[in-house]
Structure formats: structure tokens, C-alpha cells
Structure 1
């Protein structure tokens, strides 16, 4: 079975695509999402093989959602705007469908999916991360990446520091390191270059980064030299 998720802000479009996909016994529809934030939660929880993804959606586009995914499922972009076709294929999407989806064209996509379900490299598809979904109590904020000072992981998950607040995020440190400006400074910490106010050298070749807000972010031996080299501090 090919486990799929449908993401579109238009209920009619979701239902129509689900009806077409449901006619193929090899396709299992795990669920539907009305926007990119819902999709991010479902993708992390359900681990679909394929995501049929609208490109133009409120707040976060389909392209931006792709940047947040790690590992990356097969992505089939579905949209009414054919001017996105070139960009979608340049980003190495598995396929691209125009609305309204024609059954014959969808059948070709499904035939290709059945023949090729190998894991897809993350870096071939994802554009840079520009926003991080940050969760605080019962609220979710879209944090511009340039406002994030640092990110870290602990037993509670991954957290980002932004404007004096700590928020939880579903993104991994690996995804943030690979697809955003954040730099690795410790096994459990990433730092935004613009948030490096000073580097305080400690004993045993350790260090701390002091941010403009006064936060102190640890730097391990492994990453200290890389940071000093990057900023010409040797």
C-alpha cells in the first residue's frame, strides 16, 4: 500500500482528489489537512509515503512546508496555477498535477509512484526555511527565521528562542541546520549568526556565545574552531 496524505485549503478539491485516489486499491489515504501547519503535524505523526500538496495556501505555502520536512516523503504538487510548474520541477518534485485533476493524468502519477518508492534525498527538494512554527501553550506562531536567536533540543523536544520567549517546534535540529542560517555550536544547540554578540572563552577549550538578549549558549570544543574560523576570530 502507498500511504498518502492530501493537503489543500479547498475542501472540495481535497474531497475530489480523495475520491479519485480511493478508486485505486493500492492507495491508502491516511488523512487530509486544510493548511500547512495541520499538514506538518500529520506528516510527522503518520509518516506518509506520498503527500499530494497544494502550493498556494494561506500563511505557509506548499513550498515552505516542504522546507520543514525531514525526512521528506514523495511530494506531488497539485495546483490551479501552471506558472508554478517550472519551479516545482526545478525543485525536483516527484510530479505536478493541475487542477481540476484529470483521472488519466493522475493514473500516470500513480503508476510512477508504484514503480519508484525509493527514499528521496531531502536536499534535492527543500528551499530554505524562512519561518519556524513555534508553539506556546495553546497558540502557534510563525517565527521569521531572522528573529530566532538560537535553537536547542532536550528531553522535551526542540525549542527556539525568539524575542525573549522559548517556544516548542516540531522541526528537527538537523532540518534547521541544513535548511536555515542557524549554525551548529554544540551537539544540542544551534545559533543564528546575527545573534552572536560575543564569544566568551572558558576553560578546557569550551566557550559560550552571549546573545543580544543576554542569553548564554554553550559552544563545545568540536564546534569552537569552526565558529572562530567562520568569523575570523583566530
Structure 2
């Protein structure tokens, strides 16, 4: 039995697909989400075999959501779209499956057969090259979640990012937000630079670097906040800033 999450901003589209999957007897729908950010959180917590993902959604699209996932741990992805077959040929060429809306139960069955083969052989559903061919190379905004809201924070406004037991936190000059993205994804998809095992820093936001004992350091940002720099990353930070 495959486990699945359905992500679509249209309620009736989600319900219809969930019902079709239930009727096959081959899939357990363990979650539904109305937007990419809630879907991202659900993917991280539930770890489904497959995500049925709408392409066109407000604020954060399905394509952008793919960019936010770690290629090494991401589930299989089946796009659901209203595009015609010629428009989605690029997705097929990159080994991503897709379903045209309204979804044909026969076409869904074909998709499930492919997914069952992947699960049976424990294959990696998508190579990193295939994902990168489709996904956005870099993120210009970082989605952050709050009570009944989704904040999109521009990379240029971020001073630092750090992780702790409660998640990944995005720090700007005047506020702190929480993101579902991992530090690894932020490091790979943005210009934020690793300066500590648990911290990334925006070099454009650095006002001063204080050198401490034992090869450690602290960054002081333009808004006056402190960001630790470990021995391991101090040399790379200095090189990035042109400091010999």
C-alpha cells in the first residue's frame, strides 16, 4: 500500500483525487494540504511515498515547492495540472509523472503501477539532475509560516538563519519568522553562507566581525544582532569577504 499526500488549492479537486485514490485500494491518503507551505510541513512530518502536487497555486507554486525539497529524501512526485499534453511534455521528459485534470481513472492506474514498481525495487524516484532540470535553481524568497498566514521573506531582507529544536528560524533586521525549509536547502538554494553548524549568514548584512579566542568569531549584523562563527567556517567567510 502506497502512502500519499494530496496538495491542491482547490478543495473539490483535492477531494476528488483523494476519493479516486481510495477507490483503487492501493493508496492510503495520509494528508491533504491547500497550499505548498502546509504541504511542505506535511511532507517533512509524514514522509509519504508519493505526493500528488498541483502546479498552479497562489504564492508558492508546485514547481517552487519541488525546489524546497531535499533531492536525497524527497518522495515521488506526480503533478496534477490543467495544462494540455503538449505543454507538460517537459515534465515527462524529466521523468516526472503527471495527471491531467479532470483526472482519468485509467491514467491514474498507470501512474500507480509506475509508483508501485519504484517502491518494489526501492529505486530513487528522481535523480538530482532530473530534479534540477525542472526545479528552480535558486530561491528569491523564503516562505515562512505563522498563525493563519504565509509570509514570503526576500533573501535580501534576511540577515541570518539558524536551526534549533523547534525548527528553522529566519532573522531579518526587525523580526523573526519560522520556515519549513531546512538549513541545507537554504544553503544550496540561496546566497546565505554557512558560518556555523546551525547558522547561515547573509554577507551583505554583515557590519563587523569580532575575532574571539580559540579561532572563533562573531558576526555583528547591520541591525546589531550577533551570529556565531565556528573555527571550521571562519576561513571560508573571510575568503568570501575578500579578507586575507
Q: TM-score, normalised by structure 1?
A: 0.88
Report the Cα offset of residue 112 of structure 1.
Answer: 0.8
Q: Which moved more, 1:10-19 or 1:120-129?
A: 120-129
Residue 32 in structure 1 maps to residue 42 in structure 2:
no
Distance 1:96 1:137, change over 3 A: closer
- Structure 1 segments of 4+ aligned residues over 6 angstroms from their partners: none
Task: Give distance in 2, aligned partners of 1:88 and 1:193.
Answer: 36
Q: Offset of 1:8 from its aligned partner?
A: 1.1
Aligned 8 A contact 2:76 2:126 in 1: no
1:193 equivalent in structure 2 = 203
Which residue is equivalent to 1:184?
A: 194
In the TM superposition, what is the alpha-carbon distance from 1:228 to its structure 2 partner? Answer: 1.7
Unaligned runs of 5+ in 2: none
2:230 paired residue among 209, 220, 233: 220
Query: How many residues end up aligned between the 2 structures?
Result: 233
The change in CA–CA distance for 1:156 and 1:23 in structure 2 (over 3 A counts) is: closer
Give the equivalent residue in structure 2 for 1:85. 88
Q: How far apart, CA to CA, are the structure 2 residues paired with 1:78 and 1:66? A: 13
Relative to structure 1, the CA distance from residue 187 to residue 47 in structure 2 (aligned partners, 3 Å threshold; closer, same or farther) is same
Indicate the residue corresponding to 1:46 in structure 2: 46
User: Alpha carbons of 1:140 and 1:12: their partners in 2 closer, same or farther (altered >3 Å)?
Assistant: closer
Per-residue deviation, 1:167: 1.8
CA contact (8 A) 1:131 1:144 kept: yes
Alignment partners' CA distance in 2, 1:24 and 1:137:
36
Shift of the 12–174 alpha-carbon distance from structure 1 to 2, 3 Å rule, reads same
**Structure 1 residues 140 and 153: alpha-carbon distance in aligned structure 2, compared to 1, 3 A threshold:** same
Give the RMSD, CA atoms, in angstroms: 2.3
Between the aligned partners of 1:59 and 1:121, the Cα distance in structure 2 is 25
| Aligned-pair CA distance for 1:2 | 0.8
1:210–1:84 CA distance, 2 compared to 1 (3 A)? farther
Query: What 5-or-longer segments of structure 1 have no aligned partner?
Result: none
Shift of 1:7: 1.0
| Cα distance in 2 between the residues matched to 1:136 and 1:4 | 25
CA distance change for structure 1 residues 197 and 119 in 2, over 3 Å: closer, same or farther?
Answer: farther
Answering whether residue 167 of structure 2 is matched by residue 157 of structure 1, we say: yes
Q: What's the CA shift for 1:78?
A: 0.8
Contact in 2 for aligned 1:198/1:211 (Cα 8 Å): yes
* Counterpart Cα distance in 1 of 2:213 and 2:144: 35
User: 1:110 maps to what in 2?
Assistant: 112
Q: Is the 8 A contact 2:162 2:170 kept in 1?
A: yes
